[in-house]
Amino acid sequence: MTTTISGELTRPGLGGGFRDLRQSSFLLKLLVRKELKVRYRGSVLGLLWSYVKPGVQFVVFYVALGVFMGLERSARNPDGLSNYAVYLFSGIVLINFFSEALGNSARSIVNNGNLIKKIYLPRELFPVASVWVSAVHFFPQLVVLVIGCLFAGWHPDMFQLLAAVGGFAIVGFLATGLGLLFGAANVYFRDSENLVDMLLMVATWASPVMYSWTMVQAKLGPVFFAIYQANPITVGVELFHYAFWYPTTDGSAAMPPNLFSLWLPIGLVISLVVLVLGQLTFRRLEGRFAQEL
Amino acid sequence: MASAIEVSNVSKEFVLRHTRSIKEAVVWLVKGRKGDLSKKFHALKDVSLMVETGETVALLGLNGSGKSTLLKHISGVMLPDSGSVYTRGRVAGLIEVGAGFHPDLSGRDNVYLNGAILGMTEKQINERFDAIVEFSEIGEFIDTEVKFYSSGMYLRLAFSVAVHTDPEVFLIDEILAVGDEPFQRKCIAKIQELAEKGKTLVVVSHDLDLVSRICARGVLLEHGNVMFDGPISEAVTRLRN
Ligand SMILES: Nc1ncnc2c1ncn2[C@@H]1O[C@H](COP(=O)(O)OP(=O)(O)OP(=O)(O)O)[C@@H](O)[C@H]1O
Ligand SMILES: [Mg+2]
């Protein structure tokens, strides 16, 4: 929404999709800041809470799952995963990011209905701002994860760090694409919200967060395992394992075959396709947002 | 003179009974699409309106005649079913008081947020911030959360942000009703000042005396049809009868 040269007639209300986002980066920043301010308003610890919560979560995992349930590798449990708490947490932070990003962006259009009904602005801003807010919340969890990793003797190389960035990007694109899709659909059918909740529940278990990928390969045939692997979230989680957990182990654990040569590109392409489809659907549906809300 | 707004043969139909669940829609499909899932309603019928740059136009009509709907088409919030809408220059709407305000944020944060929503850049808001606060007469309350404002104060700040966006075309829908007498007078003076500066104004109000003072041209809507388009005094007389 920049000042057009007077002398030029334009059609109001026809958005330029992601092109508008670059012009409205200031508004995007304010929307993200608004969300964060509103969320931590009136709490003494403020943003510190987002460090405390994952920190406690990590310790609980370590004690309950690693020590009590004995999922940690030990003399009595040679099949267990070493540093199980790190393994678990590195997957969970990514799933948390995905859940929050998709859950909030799917609701963002309906939640901002009052504004969308009255003032024209690029509506993509709302789902995209939700994803950004989730990225901000992801950061403290990452800090806790890194601290946990360092205690476990983490010594990553450059390539492993890049793998983390790649995993984050794949999941971020997927969340944005699905967020646009479900955010727009939610205006017409409020069932979409429930669909998203269900999807998120499945997503946690459809990736090797709690268990290891070898268990899946043993149970599924090669065809179903390939389908399992093509899930961008699975790829993201495995990349996170490779970046955070693998460098804390003795290196004897196996990474999924062809993770970098095959599954990384496939995950990335699927995420980007979802992003493009989400954006196209969004643009198709947004013309009627104001009257349907 | 160039035209600022060109509305040509715009029609708009609304669906009245909404289904918000997939279940209802599926049941309807399975039953062989019997009955009406939704009733249609014509809010605008073949409406054409040409506004020159610098004109001041009042949209008049009874409740539900389609005035707000027409403004939403001009601002781009809604798209027409048929016909076309073109505008020249930046359009800003005071469609409803403080639509972009968040109650949990301070007045200051809301000025920035609302300014950006109405299309101002960071630099523009920084430059005009003091003028906005001064015009609103909010004073020290600027750093208080907006939810503690009285409705008049809310309106003052919202109106103040909107007039400082400096658009070429200004759309105003029923916002002058709140606010105390002195502030109302100040708003009207500001609107008249905008008109003198050559801004295009489209005003919706049920206060006929007020619009007669601000606007030169009146457009009378009835059930989505343009019934009259001409001098404001004549439009007002027609509506009163
Ligand atoms: N999103 C919508 N869905 C269905 N019907 C709508 C929608 N928006 C408006 N309408 C209908 O369109 C008609 C015109 O509404 P509009 O708000 O334009 O009236 P108005 O002239 O502004 O009235 P008022 O003086 O009360 O503000 C009304 O009958 C209203 O019920
Ligand atoms: Mg109205």
Residue range B31-45, pLDDT digits in tens: 776 666 667 888 999
| Chain B residue with Cα closest to A122 | B117
Residue range B118-166, pLDDT digits in tens: 888 999 999 999 999 999 988 889 999 998 988 888 888 888 898 888 8
Residue range B46-62, pLDDT digits in tens: 999 999 999 999 999 99
Residue range A101-119, pLDDT digits in tens: 999 999 999 999 988 988 8
Query: Confidence band (pLDDT; 50, 70, 90) for B178?
Result: low
Average pLDDT in chain B: 87
Query: Confidence band (pLDDT; 50, 70, 90) for A190?
Result: confident
pLDDT of res. B206: 87
Say yes or no to pLDDT of B78 above 80. Answer: yes
Residues of A in contact with B25 (CB under 8 A): 189
Say yes or no to pLDDT of B7 above 90. Answer: yes
Residue range A158-179, pLDDT digits in tens: 999 999 999 999 999 999 999 9
Residue range A3-56, pLDDT digits in tens: 444 567 888 877 766 777 777 899 999 999 998 888 877 676 777 877 888 888
H or E, element range at B109: helix B107-117
Region A90-105 average pLDDT: 94
Residue range A233-286, pLDDT digits in tens: 999 999 999 999 999 988 888 888 888 889 999 999 999 999 999 999 999 999
What residue owns the CA closest to ligand 1's atom 27? B63
| Chain B residue with Cα closest to A30 | B113
Check A120 against B76: CB less than 8 A apart.
Answer: yes
Taking each helix axis from N to C end, the angle separating A158-188 and A264-285, rounded to the nearest 10 degrees, works out to 30
CA A174 vs. chain centroid, Å, equals: 8
Q: Which two tokens stand for residue B124?
A: 């523009």
Rg of chain B in Å (alpha carbons):
20
Query: How far does the CA of residue A286 sit from the closest CA of chain B (Å)?
Result: 9
Say yes or no to pLDDT of B210 above 80. Answer: yes
CATH code of B3-240, in short, is 3.40.50.300
pTM confidence score: 0.89
Backbone angles phi, psi at B18, to 5 degrees: -95, 145
Query: Confidence band (pLDDT; 50, 70, 90) for A2?
Result: very low
pLDDT of res. B240: 87
ipTM for the whole complex? 0.86
Nearest ligand 1 atom to the CA of B69 is 18
Say yes or no to pLDDT of B213 above 50. Answer: yes
- Bigger pLDDT: A215 vs A138: A138
Q: Where are the domains of chain B?
A: 3-240
**How far apart, in whole angstroms, are the C-alpha atoms of residue A23 and residue B166?**
18
- Nearest Cβ partner for B89 among A6, A31, A41: A6
